[in-house]
Every structure is written in structure tokens, then in C-alpha cells.
Chain A
Amino acid sequence: MTPPESADEQLLREWLAQKTPPPLPDDGFKQRVLAALPPSRPKHDWRTITVLAAGFLIGLAWALRNHASVGGLADSGVHLADLASHRTLFVLALIAGIGVLTELEAPAWLPGPIADRSDGLG
């Protein structure tokens, strides 16, 4: 059971409550703190997976398109030498380039870590 507050205690509480300053406005403090945080952990998993999946699908489509006329996908293994063609190499280089660029700077449409947004929750 809480003992009753003495008159002095009550007065002190009232005085100090009056002396309590109003909440400080943020004034950019949050942004300064967030800017001072260490960089986010690398989270390229989704980007990498997206790029690899896209590359796989493009490659698969490319293979199906080029080999469908010679007996279907099952026979395409015998045409591996065709991969050395200029057009195939160009497509592979293009996919690799996209992958590298994605790792350097993720485009906005790719899923990634939750970015800081100015409209905070609190």
C-alpha cells in the first residue's frame, strides 16, 4: 500500500511538473540519427534471386525458341555448341551486365530492404 503523500511531497511534485519543459520538436534530429547509423546489412538476396530467375527464364525461352525446330528440348543438349554463337553470347553478356548493375544499385521496382521513409510510425 502506497503511503499518503506529504504536503511537501505533493507541492514538490506540482512544482516540478510545472517546470517540466514541453516536448522538444524533432527539428531534423531523427534524420541526423538515421544518417549516422551504419549502412544497412547487405540484403541482395531478393535482387540476386530475381536477376538469376529472369536470366534463367530468358535463357530457357531462348533455348526453346532456337531448338524447338530440331526435335524439342530433349534434343537441345546436342546443340550446346550453338551457345558459342554471337547472338547467344550477346544475350548472356546482357544478363550478366544487368546482374552486375543490379548489385551496384538496385532499381526501385526490385524488392529490397525496407527503405527509410519520412512518414514515420511514431
Chain B
Amino acid sequence: MSDSGPSDSDLVALALTRDDRLAFGALVSRHQSAVRHFLRHLCGDPALADDLAQDAFVEAHRSLRSFRRDSPFLTWLLGIAHNRYRNARRLKREVLFAPAELPESEPTAPKQRESELRADLAMALSRLDPSEQTALHLFYQQGLAHPEIASVTGWPLGTVKTHLARAKDKLRPLLQAWNPKS
């Protein structure tokens, strides 16, 4: 994500010491997609997600001095985004997920078409607990490690692992039905 150009830490330093809007703009450009995807995943509404993402970046700008370089900037940013989401939910700005358990039904019969697989996967994911969805999203799609997920969400490390394990347990019937090796 930051393969070329100045590092995130360099840009943060520029934004801090010179109040450099260009440097902060570069950080926004670099991370806007990840933050907006994360919030869209959390709240499901693209417009609300973008509003929250904007708030998160403004908050990040205000709190830049509290950024510690012992974790990636994106992890810190996603943590702010997650807080904005929780605050919004607390204020009941939007009804978010309708959590539902994956039914204990018989495993899905093996199918061949990719579109059906995607549809099944989307349905199975939508039935996970929101916390489990978030853990899966951050782990598999944002590529964060367990401690980073803990940092973003504020959950204890053990809770992160539990959410991931439970999510995988719930997806296992689907996985086994689709896995040609099983």
C-alpha cells in the first residue's frame, strides 16, 4: 500500500511539523479505500460509510500527535474509524446489521458454478455475528494480524481469536460442501 513515495510515518511527521495539508492529503489518498471499505462493511450504507470515513480522517488529523509509530498508520486509522462507527451506532444514526446465526441446516450440496459459490458465501457471511464479520473482514480482506485487529476494535486478543474461530466454525458446513477435497 505504501510501496513507493514517502512512508506513512514521514507524511505524518510532515503533517505534524509543518501542518502540511499536502502530506495529509497523500495519507488520505493512500488509505481512503481501505477505510471506506471497512466502514461500508460495518454499516452497509455507502453514503453513511463515507460520512463516517470523512469524520474518521478529520479526527485522525486532529489526533495525529497521539499516533505512535509502533503500529502501522492504517491500523491506527481503522481504529478511529471503528470508534466513529460505534459512536454513530450508539447515537442510533442508523440501524446496522441484523445479526443472525447460521442455521444448523444440512450442508449445502456441492455446486459447480462460481456465481453460486459467491452467492452462498455472501449469504453465509451476512448471517454471521457482526463482530465475527468484522474479524473476518479485517483478517482476510484487510490483511491485519490478530494483535492489529485487537488494536483496531479494542477487543482483547483472545476475543479476536474467538470471533475468528467461531466465524470459521459457522462457515465450515459451507466450506465442506464446496471444498472438492472434502
Q: Are A116 and B53 in contact (CB under 8 A)?
A: no
Segment with Cβ contacts to A, from B81-89, B98-106, B168-176? B168-176
Interface residues on A, range: 35 or more
Asked if A58 is at the interface (CB within 8 A of a chain B CB), the reply is: no
Docked Cα-Cα span, A36 to B25, in Å, equals: 12
Asked if A18 is at the interface (CB within 8 A of a chain B CB), the reply is: yes
Asked if B111 is at the interface (CB within 8 A of a chain A CB), the reply is: no
Interface size on B, residues (CB 8 A): 44
Asked if A19 is at the interface (CB within 8 A of a chain B CB), the reply is: yes
- Annotate B74-96 by CB proximity to A: 1 below 8 A, 0 otherwise: 00000000000000000000000
Which residue of A has the minimal Cβ distance to B50?
A29
Q: Assuming the A-B contacts A24-B32, A29-B50, A122-B29, are A19 and B121 also in contact, with contact meaning beta carbons closer than 8 angstroms in the complex?
A: yes
- Annotate A30-73 by CB proximity to B: 1 below 8 A, 0 otherwise: 10111011101101000000000000000000000000000000
Asked if A23 is at the interface (CB within 8 A of a chain B CB), the reply is: yes
Within B34-80, which residues are at the interface with A (CB < 8 Å)?
Answer: 36-37, 50, 53-54, 57-58, 61-62
Contacts of A41 in B (CB 8 A): 19
Asked if B9 is at the interface (CB within 8 A of a chain A CB), the reply is: no
Which residue of B has the minimal Cβ distance to A36?
B58
Asked if A115 is at the interface (CB within 8 A of a chain B CB), the reply is: yes
> Closest CB of chain A to B49's CB: distance in Å?
10
Asked if A114 is at the interface (CB within 8 A of a chain B CB), the reply is: yes
Contacts of A15 in B (CB 8 A): 117, 121
Q: Are B22 and A114 in contact (CB under 8 A)?
A: yes
> Closest CB of chain B to A31's CB: distance in Å?
8
Within A81-122, which residues are at the interface with B (CB < 8 Å)?
Answer: 113-117, 120-122
Most buried by B among A19, A33, A115: A33
Asked if B108 is at the interface (CB within 8 A of a chain A CB), the reply is: no
The 6 lowest CB-CB distance pairs between A and B, nearest first, are A121-B26, A122-B26, A16-B140, A122-B29, A122-B30, A23-B33
